[in-house]
A and B are shown apart, each in its own frame.
Chain A
């Protein structure tokens, strides 16, 4: 509350809000082992963390120039197996945490509600300055897509998983996932890892 200085538009302030790839890798790194079947949450290990990060594929999911404002484009990530339904959307200038593109308004998320797996296809909504996913058809959860998918109102056990994006010229790549996809015990299924 003592922070009365407006710093919204400063580059430093902006960078703080946007997860870059390095920070994201750090996030993933602090969780547990990828391959081991033993819980190590009390003793996270560096070595496993590295193994983990390597696992996410860098996948081309579309071109920025193809995206229409507020129309989601569907893709699967991090693999083609169950519960990989995701979408990328350009949110018509609404700047977002983790957003890429000149307006920082291109984001990607899982479609599966992290409450009990409600499928939220068709639930992307632009309401005034707000960009939300929801209400989930099962129990009405709503997520704020400008804020890393945090719950607006509802019952989910975590934010809606955000797919980390990289922009290379006009090409959009998915490079990781923040948060556990509904229904999975790990985002990278063992069969996927080598």
Chain B
């Protein structure tokens, strides 16, 4: 069956008793559920329905929660050149993460992800290609690599290292990201380097980093062990499903209280509310800071702060000072903290500041956020009011993109402070962190050369380069794009697309020859003329970066096609086994980088297999939150490779940072970071401090200059000018966007290639509140035009004289903001689960990229985009076919309990 149209099947093969079994994890979301791949040759017998006749050891029909094979969990792949059946199931014996063998809809259907020429995955890239006469044509690896490296060398020599820009995924396995960053940062040494989700190489959570919190310090048990859990900017049922289903939902059922900040009420929130112990603050976009500031105000006024914790773990004036604005170090932390707007002299100083801010008056905050002020008092009570016996509530704080991609610095500062005041951050069930997006698959192979970034404000340290702006300014002559659409994934994407057309397509130097040298010369001439040459490593041809702009396309091998390692949202590291042959000539990115590196004449790119890359990278992980170096030490002690050792650990893996007890030979993981309940004596007794083990400060303390937490201010004024300006005028509505359960961190397969999912979400959609819809004559299923004439775009580089010049208001006044038009179509879903006055669209349908409407004004402190901030007007332009047919989409609200 090769249709992209979902044809329900009524049979699925069972793996036979002698099927080979390999372990892996889901390729998609941060949770990284454990999976088993059952493989047997096509043409040999399937398993039978009796328990002794199949590899699942279950008799069919099976019962609830028992093993079962859905038709979407079977596929046929090539293995060692022969067709094999594979059945890919969540691991029923999982000892961690997806206990009971649970999985979401995304991972549950992951068997459909693999290459099969009879299925919608048939368009995988299989051969290197060069664009000749406007058409991408297959060429040999040698030819493609030679052309790419000759042009790269020329660009760097003639135009400098920054003329070579790299835009890459941050997450797609340690081996690949290590090789990629070793190439771009250590060897090319370019400052023109950014990941798929930001315009510059910056932290996602500046407030966490400056307070001293790791993003992924908590364990999944910590989220479950909290008595009150605050969740801001996400519904983990939709995104992080198994973390919700296996940890948070059981906790809610057992009485855990939850406080939610979100613009939409989706299934997880609706469920929590139905259990009677949830408080849902349905705020307007971008208003988390005033709400958290006001919750803090109520806590402070009542004296509900965790005094003991603050006394012991919060920096006082001198400890704070020793880390702020001292020395000449050129770090992002220094850059931000010398700003002077966040630093406090400790808790009392923070308290005075908070009490003096008018917007943290609950009434005022409630007005800004458009919520009921009594809910702010309720939230404060749920999080911090001591119990009748005087003991404290164990509160934890979880955030994700809806929160940190609206007001990046302000929100992350505010939640770090709120958590600290409530005594959270370093104890079981009292933690703070991100719930996560993609899995943690980045291991840096080189340091970002910040001193080469041209982005510098007078009197301030250098900032990481805004690569989008650098590209807009025409400085990027060679764009190396790996595993990201780049254009649609960024804010104000229409402008970026236009600039690519100008730099690439409309440049007169286009390849018209089959001669290698002529091709090289043409592309060099393009770069010298001010144009851009584009190299794209991908698994599918993406529009437009691959299909319209790439000069050279290199086919990448991915999940299941090479052994890889990666960590999940509680730093759990597992091996993702290769279980089938990569399609055609596709190669893993680490291999591609090795070939590029060798041709560039760089040392240390002669890896023979993925394990070698992994083993080389391990020592660079030692100070990081998922340190896996001791895995290698343990492996070598046992005469094994790192990959072999990790394979033994199956779907359980091990939580980083790892330790090795040289005496007992035991490999030890770390349940949580910042674990203040761990003593040095315990660490020593467990052998965690012997020999090459590295006991990092973050294990038992915080990531700050003193090991204690910096309690920080979170001025609303840094963001409020942008927010006020953006606020809907006339018949505008807020326009925000985000993920949807059925397609989350899996969009690179789902949207186009899984019939079942494509049928559910065939195109871009926007949720609109019934009142807003009625006022505009809109019904579910109508085709809408969302449009705006005021999408703000920050122009080029800026020089500034004083602090206020970075504010949105002064940028606007000084002519640094350009207003662009943008329009995106979408299918209307009229639903009460989205806040009145707010539209919520899918964030990245590549054909209808809703990011075009979101302002391209990076956070002035951190450099992140405020992806969630936008406005739009909306009108009906007709009716979509989904309104009158019954096959695709569904307009039912997501909060029916």
- B62 within 8 Å of A (CB atoms): yes
A154 touches B741 (CB 8 A): yes
The complex places the Cα of A54 from the Cα of B60 at a distance, in Å, of 22
B884 touches A147 (CB 8 A): no
Contact assessment for B71 and A158 in the assembled complex, using a CB-CB cutoff below 8 Å: yes
Chain B residues in 8 Å Cβ range of A134: 896
Q: Are B892 and A130 in contact (CB under 8 A)?
A: yes
**A132 close to B896 (CB less than 8 A):** yes
Determine whether the beta carbon of A144 is less than 8 Å from that of B48. Answer: no
Report the bound CA distance from A190 to B889 in whole Å. 35
Task: Find chain B residues with CB under 8 A from A182 CB.
Answer: 68
Q: How far is the CB of A86 from chain B (nearest CB, A)?
A: 14
Q: Which of B121-129, B166-174, B675-683, B872-880 contacts its partner?
A: B872-880
The interface bits of chain A over 151-171 (1 if a CB of B lies within 8 angstroms of the residue's CB, else 0) are 111111111011000000000
**Contact residues in A for B891 (Cβ distance below 8 Å):** 130
- Contact across chains for B109 and A157 when beta carbons are under 8 A apart: yes
Neighbour of A117 across the interface among B64, B74, B76, B109, CB < 8 A: B64
CB of B742 closer than 8 Å to a CB of A: yes
- Smallest distance from the beta carbon of A41 to chain B beta carbons, Å? 6
Given known pairs A4-B783, A30-B1, the reply for A183 and B66 (CB within 8 Å) is yes
Contact status A144-B890, CB under 8 Å? yes
The answer for the CA separation of A82 and B886 in the assembled complex, in Å, is 30
The stretch from B39-47, B394-402, B450-458, B599-607 touching chain A is: B39-47
For window 236-291 of B, CB contacts with A under 8 Å fall at 237-238, 241, 245, 249, 266-268, 271
| Chain A contact residues: helix, strand, loop or mixed | loop
CA distance A1 to B241 in the complex (A): 32
Question: Does B783 contact A7, Cβ atoms closer than 8 Å?
Answer: no
Contact of A31 among B11, B65, B83, B245 (CB under 8 A): B11
Q: Nearest chain-B residue to A190 (Cβ)?
A: B49
Q: Within residues 107 to 154 of chain A, which ones have a CB less than 8 A from any CB in chain B?
A: 112, 114-119, 125, 127, 130, 132, 134-135, 138-140, 142, 144, 146-148, 150-154
Q: Is A159's CB under 8 angstroms from B11's CB?
A: no
Q: Which residues of A contact B45 (CB under 8 A)?
A: 37-38
Indicate if A34 sits at the interface (CB-CB under 8 A).
yes
A16 touches B885 (CB 8 A): yes
A118 — which chain B residues lie within 8 A by C-beta?
64
Q: In the complex, what's the smallest C-beta–C-beta distance from A151 to chain B, in angstroms?
A: 6
Asked if B809 lies at the interface with its beta carbon under 8 angstroms from chain A, I say no
Residues in B37-92 with C-beta less than 8 Å from chain A: 42-46, 48-49, 60-66, 68-74, 76, 83, 85
Residue ID in chain B nearest A28 by CB atoms: B10
B85:A39 contact, CB within 8 angstroms: yes
Within 8 Å CB of A157, what residues of B?
70, 72-73, 105, 108-109
Say yes or no: is B210 at the interface (Cβ < 8 Å to chain A): no
Cα A134 to Cα B741 in complex, Å, equals 16
B residues within 8 A CB of A152? 890, 892, 894, 896
Is B741's CB under 8 angstroms from A38's CB? no
Chain B residues closer than 8 Å to A144, beta-carbon distance: 890, 892
Task: Check B68–A116 contact: CB distance below 8 A.
Answer: yes
List B contacts of A183 (CB < 8 A): 60-64, 66, 68
Q: Could you tell me the distance between the alpha carbons of A185 and B15 in the complex, rounded to whole angstroms?
A: 11
Chain B residue numbers with a CB within 8 Å of A148 are 886-887
1/0 per residue A174-191: CB within 8 Å of B?
A: 000111111111111110
On whether the beta carbons of A1 and B825 are closer than 8 Å, the reply is: yes
Residues of B within 8 A of A158 (CB): 8, 70-72, 756
Interface membership of A42, Cβ < 8 A:
yes
A194 at the interface (CB under 8 A from B): no
B105 — which chain A residues lie within 8 A by C-beta?
115, 151, 154-157
Chain A interface residue number, banded = 35 or more
Given contacts A28-B10, A155-B104, contact A135 B887 (CB under 8 A): no
Q: Which of B8, B62, B896 contacts A161 (CB 8 A)?
A: B8
Which among A82, A114, A117, A180 is the interface contact of B11 at CB below 8 angstroms? A180
> In this complex, what residue of B is CB-closest to A3?
B881
The distance from the CB of A139 to the nearest CB of chain B, in whole angstroms, is 5
Q: Is B14 among interface residues, defined by CB-CB distance under 8 A?
A: yes
Please judge, given known A-B contacts A114-B70, A148-B886, whether A6 and B43 are in contact too, CB under 8 Å.
no
On whether the beta carbons of A41 and B66 are closer than 8 Å, the reply is no
Cβ of B894 and Cβ of A153 under 8 Å apart? yes
Query: Is the CB of A106 closer than 8 A to any CB of chain B?
Result: no
A81 within 8 A of B: yes
**A177 and B10 contact, CB distance less than 8 A:** yes
Question: Contacts A83-B61, A183-B61 known; A139 to B1 CB distance under 8 Å?
Answer: no
A142 to chain B, nearest CB (A): 6
Q: Which residues of B contact A8 (CB under 8 A)?
A: 879, 883-884
B877 contacts which chain A residues (CB < 8 A)? 1, 4
Residue interface mask B1-37, A partner, CB < 8 A = 1: 1000011111111100000000000000000000000
A89 adjacent to chain B (CB < 8 Å) = no
Closest to B784 in A: A1
Chain A residues closer than 8 Å to B103, beta-carbon distance: 155
Least CB distance from B768 to A in Å reads: 15
CA of A151 to CA of B105 in the docked complex: distance in angstroms? 10
Q: Give the residues in chain A near B8, CB-CB below 8 Å.
A: 27, 158-159, 161-162, 178-180
Of the residues A16, A117, A189, contact of B68 by C-beta under 8 Å: A117
> In the bound complex, what is the Cα–Cα distance between A162 and B109 (angstroms)?
20
- Docked CA distance A16–B5 (Å): 14
Residues 210-238 of chain B: 1 if any A CB is under 8 Å from the residue's CB, otherwise 0? Answer: 00000000000000000000000000011
CA distance A183 to B61 in the complex (A): 5
Given A41-B1, A82-B61, A150-B890, A180 and B884 contact (CB-CB distance below 8 Å): no
Please name all residues of chain A whose beta carbon is closer than 8 Å to the beta carbon of B60 when the two chains form the complex: 183-185
Is A73 part of the binding interface, using a Cβ–Cβ cutoff of 8 Å? Answer: no
Chain A residue at minimal CB-CB distance from B100: A116
Q: Is the CB of B880 within 8 A of A185?
A: no
On whether the beta carbons of A154 and B267 are closer than 8 Å, the reply is yes
CB distance from A25 to the nearest CB of B (A): 12
Interface contact A185-B10, CB-CB below 8 Å: no
In contact, A1 and B783 (Cβ under 8 angstroms): yes
Which chain A residues numbered 25 to 58 have a C-beta less than 8 Å away from chain B? 27-28, 30-32, 34, 37-39, 41-42, 44
Chain B residues lying within 8 Å of A31, measured Cβ to Cβ, are 1, 7, 9-11, 71
B886 and A96 within 8 A (CB): yes
CB-CB nearest in chain B for A156: B105
A185 to B72, CA, bound (A): 12
Q: Is the CB of B890 within 8 A of A37?
A: no
Q: Bound complex: CA of A97 vs CA of B881, how far in Å?
A: 14
Say yes or no: A150 contacts B760, CB within 8 Å. yes
User: Is B637 an interface residue when CB atoms closer than 8 A count as contact?
Assistant: no
Given contacts A98-B886, A117-B66, could you give 10 more A-B pairs where the C-beta distance is less than 8 Å?
A3-B881, A8-B883, A38-B46, A95-B886, A139-B102, A153-B894, A155-B103, A178-B8, A183-B68, A190-B49
List, sorted by A's number, 12 A–B pairs whose CB atoms are closer than 8 Å: A4-B879, A17-B887, A32-B11, A37-B45, A39-B85, A97-B885, A117-B66, A140-B267, A140-B271, A151-B105, A178-B8, A182-B68
Contact surface of B with A, Cβ cutoff 8 Å: 1, 6-14, 42-46, 48-49, 60-66, 68-74, 76, 83, 85, 101-105, 108-109, 118, 237-238, 241, 245, 249, 266-268, 271, 741-742, 756, 759-760, 763, 783, 825, 877-881, 883-894, 896-897
